Structure 1
Amino acid sequence: MFKLFKGFYKPKNTRTVPFLEILTMAAETLWSNKLRTGLTMLGVIIGISSVIAITSVGQGVQKGVEQQIQALGTDVIQILAGAARSGNISQGIGSSSTLTWEDAKAIAQQAPSAQMVSAYLQRNAQVVYGGQNTSTTIYGTDLSYPDIRNTHPQQGRYFTEEELNTAAQVAVLGPTVLNTLFGQGANPIDETIRIRGEAYKVIGVMEPKGSQGPMDRDDQVFIPLTSMSARLVGNNALAGVSVSGILVKGANQEQLEAAQFQVTNLLRLRHNIYPPQADDFRLTNQADIVSTFTNVVGLFTVMVVAIAGISLVVGGIGIANIMLVSVVERTREIGIRKAVGATNSAILNQFLAEAIVISIVGGVIGMVSGIAIAFGAANIFKFPFVISVLSIIVGFALSLGVGLVAGVIPARNAAKLDPITALRSD
Structure 2
Amino acid sequence: MAAEALWSNKLRTGLTMLGVIIGISSVIAITSVGQGVQKGVEQQIQALGTDVLQVLAGAARSGFISQGLGSTSTLTWEDAEAIAQQAPSAQVVSAYLQRNAQVVYGGQNTSTTIYGTDLNYPEVRNVYPQAGRFFTQEELDTATQVAVLGPTVQKTLFGEGANAVGEKIRVRGEAYEVIGVMEPKGSQGPMDRDDQIYIPLTSMSRRLVGNNALAGISVSGILIKASNQEQLEAAQFQVTNILRLRHNIYPPAVDDFRLTNQADIVNTFTNVVSLFTVMVVAIAGISLLVGGIGIANIMLVSVVERTREIGIRKAVGATYAAILNQFLAEAIAISTVGGGIGMGAGILIAAAAAAIFKFPFVVSPLSVIAGFGLSFIVGLLAGVIPARNAAKLDPIAALRSD
For residue 371 of structure 2, the aligned residue among 395, 406, 410 is 395
Matched to 1:80, the amino acid is L
Residue 407 (structure 1) aligned with residue 395 (structure 2): no
2:226 is equivalent to residue 250 of structure 1: yes
How many Å separate the matches in 2 of 1:90 and 1:109? 32
Q: Distance in 1 between matches of 2:6 and 2:203?
A: 77
Q: Does 1:191 align with 2:167?
A: yes
Alpha-carbon separation, structure 2, partners of 1:135 and 1:28: 68
Instruction: Confirm or deny that 1:272 pairs with 2:248.
Output: yes
Structure 1 residue 162 and structure 2 residue 138: aligned? yes
CA distance in 1: counterparts of 2:174 and 2:5, whole angstroms: 80
Which residue of the partner structure matches residue 144 of structure 1?
A: 120
Out of 342, 349, 362, the position equivalent to 1:366 is 342
TM-score normalised according to structure 2 size: 0.99
Tell whether 2:13 aligns with 1:37.
yes
Question: Is 1:62 matched with 2:38?
Answer: yes
Aligned-partner SS, 1:226: helix
How far does residue 340 in structure 1 lie from its aligned partner after superposition? 2.3
State the alpha-carbon separation in 2 of the partners of residues 43 and 273 from structure 1: 63
User: Which letter does structure 2 place at the counterpart of 1:141?
Assistant: T
- Code of the residue aligned with 2:143 in structure 1: it is A
Q: CA deviation at 1:420?
A: 1.2
1:422 match: 398
Corresponding residue for residue 26 of structure 1:
2
Letter in 2 for 1:60: G
1:66-77 to 2 correspondences below 5 Å: 66-77=42-53
Deviations along 1:333-354, one digit per CA (max 9) or x if unpaired, are 1112222222222111111110
Q: How does 1:14-413 map to 2 (within 5 A)?
A: 25-413=1-389
- Look up the equivalent residue of 2:355 and give its one-letter code: N
Question: Partners in 2 of 1:156 and 1:401 — Cα distance?
Answer: 61
* CA-atom RMSD in angstroms: 0.8
Task: Give distance in 2, aligned partners of 1:332 and 1:275.
Answer: 88
Q: Helix, strand or coil: the match of 2:280?
A: helix
1:54 shift after superposition = 0.9
1:171 is paired with a residue whose SS is: strand
Q: Which digits, 9 at most, give the CA deviation of each residue in 1:66-106, with x for residues without a partner?
A: 11111101111000000001112111111111001111011
Letter of the 2:44 counterpart? Q
CA deviation digits over 1:101-122, x for unaligned, max 9?
Answer: 1110111111121111000001
Deviations 1:271-327 (A, max 9, x none): 111110100000001111111111121122112112211111111111000000010
C-alpha distance in 2 between matches for 1:113 and 1:339: 85
In the alignment, the residues of structure 1 paired with residue 33 and residue 231 of structure 2 have an alpha-carbon distance, to the nearest angstrom, of 34
Q: CA deviation at 1:253?
A: 2.5
1:237-262 Cα offsets, whole Å, 9 max, x none, are: 11111110000111012322111111
Matched residues in 2 for 1:92 and 1:171: separation? Answer: 27
Q: Which amino acid aligns with 2:337?
A: V
Q: Which runs of 5+ in 1 are unaligned?
A: 1-24
In the superposition, the TM-score normalised over structure 1's length comes to 0.93
